[in-house]
Amino acid sequence: MITLTTPALLFPAISLLLLAYTNRFLVVAQLIRSLSGSMDDANRRTVHRQISTLKRRVYLIKVMQIFGVVSFLLCTVSMFLIFLELPVWGSWLFGISILSLSISLVYSLYEIGISTQALNIILDDLNLFEGDKR
């Protein structure tokens, strides 16, 4: 049987996770804006290679945020149900909340992999550029 404090333990973790997701979104948005402002013939190939990656990352961050918010809401409702002395329903919603949080984290892991691929695209282009200078 869970108590009211059990779901409350997730509140700081979920809040910090949502803050991290928002920061990731802001960084990607800033990158997109800077790419659109600095696009010329010299870096057009690099930008085109990054567009699909950036679109996927924006989508994944949106899904991460959705599952994070759902987890937060379910955790809140779980606490309310436990407060109303409906511990079985509260336990079920808390379990679904943890599942939602886990799904959010899996999407986050996938997004980290994609962002690493995006950095490798830039590094490959920089390596080619360095080779042209020699």
Confidence at residue 43, expressed as pLDDT on a 0 to 100 scale: 66
DSSP codes joined into one string, 77-94: HHHHHHHTT-HHHHHHHH
The model carries a pTM of 0.79
Confidence at residue 134, expressed as pLDDT on a 0 to 100 scale: 52
Q: Report CA 84 to chain centroid distance, whole Å.
A: 33
pLDDT tens for each residue of 47-101: 777 788 888 999 999 999 999 999 999 999 999 999 999 999 999 999 999 999 9
Confidence at residue 39, expressed as pLDDT on a 0 to 100 scale: 65
Q: Which residue has the higher pLDDT, 101 or 119?
A: 101
Confidence at residue 2, expressed as pLDDT on a 0 to 100 scale: 83
pLDDT at 42 over 70: no
pLDDT at 131 over 70: no
